[in-house]
Amino acid sequence: MAGTNSSRRERLGAALLAALLALSVVAGVAGLGAANDGTDHVTRNGDTLVVQLGENATATKKITVSVAGGRTVGVTTKNATKTFPVPVKKLSVPKQNLNRTRVTVKSNGTELFNETANLRHLKFGKTKNAEFGNGKLRVPLTQALGYGGGQSVAVTLGGSKKPVSGTVQYEGNDSYLAVSFDAGALSLPLKENANLAVSNRATTSINLRAHVERATSVTALDGGTLAVSNPLFAGGEYDLTVETNGARFAGAVTATDGRLTVSDSALAAASSWTVSAYRDGQPLFENVTEQARTTETITANVTQNGSVVSLADESVSATRTTVWLTNVSQASSATNQSRYVSVSVPVENGDVNLSSTRYRLHPNGSYRLVVTGEQFVRAEVSGNESASDTLFYAAGDAANGGSGGDGSSGTFSLIEDNLMLVAGIGGVLLVGVIGGAFLHSRGDSSSGSAGATSGGTDHEVQLRAMDAARSELAAEPVTVVAKKHGSTARADGGREEIELTDGTGSLSLGRGRWTFTAESGDVSDQKRRRTINSDATLRFELGPQNAAAIVTDDDGEPLSNVPVTATLDGGESSTGRTDSDGRVAFELPLEADEVELSASHEKYDGDATTVSLGGGSAPEESLTLDLRTGSLDVTVTVDGTPVSGLPVETRSREQAVREVGGQREGTTDDEGVAGFTGLPVGKYEVGTEIPGDAFAVQSKRVSVRDGRRARATLDASFEYSLGRRQRDRIAEIRRDVDELTTGSGRDVAIPRYYGSVVTALLDAVERLPREGHRFATADADPDEVVAALLDTAEETVELVDDAMATKRNTDLFGACVDMADARVSWDGDFEVETLFGLLGEDRTAQRQPVRTQLQAVDDRINDERSDVAVVAPARELWEGVKQLVRDAPDDDPVRGAAVVFAAAGLLEAIDELFDHDELRERLERTVF
């Protein structure tokens, strides 16, 4: 529909104020653990989900809140708090119904409890861009989380006593709230904004009446009928008023198919209309002004034996269009009647094709042609005078008052004063076109001159009103009042007033001192006590009007260097950037009734609001930018094996990301994954650090996208192998083990058995180059660990050799020399996982398990003493192991771990000695 006359627009009411609630999560290192008093629960408080743990909760390091079908948020605590507020928008996701969804709360990976909660969240967008479609008002949303497409929303509308309902709709990446009204009884106060609110407390101020008025259209139909359409017209009667320059209608009209129609040729032929509609005494809209659409007059020619009119503009095309054709000569005749034809024909590449009708034009005639439809075109077909009265059409045509051959109406009366006045055939002229009527606009003179004053010679004072924001003459109406000072003021009248046209005008004023005041709306400028004694020129500076915005993030922190654009109704815009306090100001022209302030940043979801101007003060609006974030999971492996406890760092590769806090640190969990949530979208480089020189680590680049979870794997290689000296030592120790069985004249089954323990220890040493994933988090150098184990292995060989060489043992082995050779090995093994567990403990913790084991084996030896003849092979080695543990240094944790590791294997072998039948037979041999 055409634009609304600015002089009749209602100024917008109170501007939309975006209130920002700064949510801070009080987190702590020593948080809370599982509760058992039954008070655990989650509750919704506005746009925050409050997690409350029980009174008996124990200390923990981390709380995680996860949503079925949604996201997971981790809360690292700093104090012993038991209440954790989590923003709902960090948990919820779009296009899913999370009205009653399961929320699980965990502590250090262990579930504490789970409950259902409503995780729906809406945030309104630019309500200025709302529009009616299919009887519903589409209100843009910048965020729609936890709602499935088409899901209903509880909506309230301030000032309306009738039900309002809404549904969330999605179109690609855009979402909107489709609001339905009880159109038959909608009642809203005039000149006031109404608050539109949804269940999660999201509220926006919307000028619903402006949208109702914008959706109103006025159309002149065939047969002198005027139609007024509006999406909120329901059945029943409306009081309708229509005003034009020369006619007025007021009466009750019944709505049909969303429109009210009035049969009045004078109204239908007008160039503009001002329309109001009321129901039960309440206004639906008032003073909506609609202009007839205009088009440019172009030249055309009759071709193809009168069946085609070729327009100069070849871009005009339409599948079917209504064509009105008037004979120029007849239109200007004394009868004040215009003969015409009206047909619906195709137009292609500027050719109006009449071949499907019975109408033909004289190729040398003069005609006026109007093509209506999606494009409005006025064309002049020029011809010579002798052929100008030739207009051919079929019998029963318009000339006889019948209908045309295609069923079109045959006659149409048109007042001559409304015909276009063409200076010359083929001339170009702007005209109004509506439903086939040819209109002309009538100029109004808004400039004026005050009458001459009575006192003395009058002087001409030229007045110029400048729009300060544009440094040009004011386009808006400006009223100048001149007041005279002194004794002659009363005699001269003392006061003159003029309304300037396009910022200019003049007054004839008598001599004296005058004060001039120029006003446009709420903006004014004054020239005080100016002496007029000759012709003069006065220049007024009006404005500028001012508007300002403060831009913050969703935590309430001001954002600097953010571009903010101020856009006026006509599309004119200017852009400024926020200062360090997040503020930016604009100077606006006089004609601006309102301005849209919109902020955007590549890492944030933008925000906008519409501000009403003219209130006398500069409004400062709040704009909140929600950081666009995604998630990132980084898995760290060593030679393909996930490793827990490793640090991971995200480093931003973009300045824009660094500005909004894109650098994070995390630690891998039991599955080797470090998870990062709420990362600003952008490009990152992720890396890990592993102490020591034995690892080759590479960083990796990854992109984080809005609302998505990115994944990356960092695989480090353990570049460590046993050196030649280490391999030589292992070979030497193995030879020492073999020497335990080289003695002659004695049985070597038991020494060989104990030697297998040392061999197993050496096997564990040789496996260490494949245990890089364990060294990655161990506070130990691989060379130091290998050295400590080989030192312990050498001592263990000596320990076994010394224990087996005591008199009691040599006597026993000599007595058993005639027994069948037995090759029994220790059934156990040295698990390197146990070794790395010991490396992470202090000396006291290392020794505690082996002390317990010493006591248990001592008890076993004492218990077996009554069942066998000799326990010396067990007792002598037990004593040696005890001394080995006791002599281990307190200041060398690596050496201490190696000793305890080997001692545990030896003690297990001593205990197992009594379980092998071949070896037990030797212990039962009597020694004399």
pLDDT digits (tens, 9 = 90+) for 597-613: 999 887 788 899 888 88
pLDDT at 186: 63
CA-to-CA distance for 760 and 718, rounded, in angstroms? 23
CA atoms within 13 A on the CB side of 46: 12
**Alpha carbons 708 and 173: distance in angstroms, whole number:** 14
3-state SS assignment for residue 317 = coil
How is residue 764 annotated by DSSP? Answer: H
Q: If DSSP codes are grouped into helix, strand and coil, which group holds residue 255?
A: coil
Distance CA 657, CA 651 (A): 9
Selection from 748, 751, 771 nearest residue 759 by Cα: 751
Residues 398 and 395: their CA atoms lie apart, in Å, by 9
Nearest to 806 by CA among 880, 876, 865, 736: 876
| Total Cβ atoms within 10 A of residue 731 | 10
Neighbours of 464 (CB within 10 A): 18
Mean pLDDT of the chain: 77
Least confident of 31-40, 237-246, 416-425: 416-425
Task: Round to whole Å and give the CA distance between 250 and 239.
Answer: 7
pLDDT of amino acid 81: 63
DSSP element (H, E) containing 860: helix 843-864
Q: What is the pLDDT, as a whole number, of residue 421? A: 23
Question: Is 453:492 a contact under the CB 8 Å cutoff?
Answer: yes
Please state the rounded mean pLDDT for residues 133-155. Answer: 79
Whether residue 54 contacts residue 39, with contact meaning beta carbons closer than 8 Å, is answered with: yes
CA 753 to chain centre: 71
In the chain, the largest separation of any two C-alpha atoms, in whole Å, equals 160
User: What is d(CA 289, CA 287) in angstroms, rounded to the nearest whole number?
Assistant: 6
Q: Which value, in Å, is the radius of gyration of the alpha carbons in the chain?
A: 48
CB of 872 closer than 8 Å to CB of 809: yes
- List, in order, residues 6 or more apart from 686 with CB less than 8 Å away: 632, 634, 648, 649, 650, 651, 699, 700, 701, 702, 712, 714
Q: Distance (Å, rounded) from C-alpha 486 to C-alpha 333?
A: 62
Q: What is the pLDDT of residue 28?
A: 31
Strand boundaries in 172-317, DSSP class E: 174-181, 194-198, 203-206, 217-221, 225-229, 237-243, 248-254, 259-263, 272-279, 282-291, 293-303, 308-311
What are the residues whose beta carbons fall under 8 Å from the beta carbon of 732, sequence distance 6 or more? none
What is the pLDDT confidence band of residue 428, given thresholds at 50, 70 and 90? very low
Contact 399/339 with Cβ under 8 angstroms? yes
* Cα-based torsion angle of the residue sequence 21, 22, 23, 28 in order, rounded to the nearest 10 degrees: -160
Per-residue pLDDT, averaged over 863-877, amounts to: 94
Query: Tokens in use for 43?
Result: 């509750």
Bridge partners of residue 924, in order along the sequence: none
Q: What angle do CA 474, 290, 126 make, to 5 degrees?
A: 75
pLDDT: which is higher, 226 or 15: 226
Q: At what angle do helices 872-887 and 807-815 cross, to 10 degrees?
A: 140
Q: For the segment 902-926, what is each residue's pLDDT rounded down to a tens digit?
A: 999 999 999 999 999 999 999 998 8
274 three-class SS: strand
Residue 267 scores a pLDDT above 80: no
pLDDT of residue 770: 93
Cβ atoms of 900 and 848 closer than 8 Å: no
Rounded Cα distance, 65 and 105, in Å: 5
450 pLDDT above the threshold of 60: no
pLDDT tier, 443 (very low <50, low <70, confident <90, very high otherwise): very low
How many CB atoms lie under 10 A from the CB of residue 241? 15
Q: What digits encode the pLDDT tens for the residues 802-815?
A: 999 999 999 999 99
Rounded distance between C-alpha atoms, residue 770 and residue 718, angstroms: 8
Beta-strand pair 504-509/459-467: antiparallel
Tens digits of per-residue pLDDT, 327-378?
A: 655 444 333 334 556 677 888 888 888 888 877 777 777 777 766 655 556 6
Strands 573-577 vs 709-718: parallel, antiparallel or unpaired = unpaired
Task: Return the half-sphere exposure (C-beta side, CA atoms, 13 A cut-off) of residue 51.
Answer: 35
* Least confident segment among 215-229, 461-475, 524-538, 911-925: 215-229
Share of the chain above pLDDT 70, in %: 75
φ, ψ for residue 536 (rounded to 5)?
Answer: -150, 165
Distance CA 261, CA 282 (A): 20
Write out the E strands in 77-200. Answer: 83-87, 101-107, 110-117, 121-124, 131-133, 136-145, 152-157, 164-171, 174-181, 194-198
Distances (CA, A) of 444 to 7, 216, 447, 478, 520: 14, 26, 9, 16, 19
Question: In this predicted structure, what is the pLDDT of residue 606?
Answer: 86
Comparing 871 with 74, the larger pLDDT belongs to 871
How distant is the alpha carbon of residue 519 from its chain centre?
43
Dist CA 139 CA 195 (whole Å) = 13
What are the structure tokens assigned to 652, written together? 């931003």
Task: State both tokens at 637.
Answer: 């492996």
What per-residue confidence (pLDDT) applies to 592?
85
Our CA angle for 316, 329, 306, nearest 5°, is: 45
- In what helix (H) or strand (E) does residue 75 lie, and over which residues does it extend? strand 72-76
Whether 399 and 419 have beta carbons less than 8 Å apart is answered as no
> Is 63's pLDDT higher than 90?
no
Between 840 and 257, the higher pLDDT residue: 840
Per-residue pLDDT at 885 exceeds 90: yes
Provide, for the chain, the percentages of residues in helix, strand and coil under a 3-state DSSP scheme, each rounded to the nearest 5. 20, 40, 40
pLDDT of res. 662:
67
What is the reported pLDDT for 263?
Answer: 81
**Which of 129-138, 477-486, 582-591, 858-867 shows the lowest mean pLDDT across its residues?**
129-138
* Residue 436 scores a pLDDT above 50: no
What mean pLDDT is predicted for residues 844-855? 92
Label residue 88 exposed, middle or buried (CB < 10 Å: 0-12, 13-18, 19+): buried
Residue 228: Cβ within 10 Å count: 26
Give the amino acid at 432.
G
Confidence bin at 517 (pLDDT 50/70/90):
very high
3-state secondary structure of 725: helix
Backbone angles phi, psi at 769, to 5 degrees: -60, -15
Distances (CA, A) of 659 to 511, 662, 683, 684, 845: 66, 8, 13, 13, 47
Half-sphere exposure in the Cβ direction for 717 (13 Å, CA): 5
Is the model's pLDDT at 928 over the cut of 70?
A: no
Q: What is the mean pLDDT of residues 457-486?
A: 88
Question: For residue range 110-137, what is the model confidence (pLDDT) as tens digits?
Answer: 787 788 888 788 888 767 678 876 667 8
Length in residues, the chain: 928
Phi/psi at 12 (5° precision): -65, 150
pLDDT value of residue 659: 67
Phi, psi at 641, each rounded to 5°: -105, 125
The conformation of residue 412, written as its DSSP 8-state character, comes to: B
- 93: its two tokens: 């996701």
Which residues, 6+ apart, have CB-to-CB distance to 257 below 8 Å?
Answer: none
**Distance, CA of 324 to CA of 271 (rounded, Å):** 18
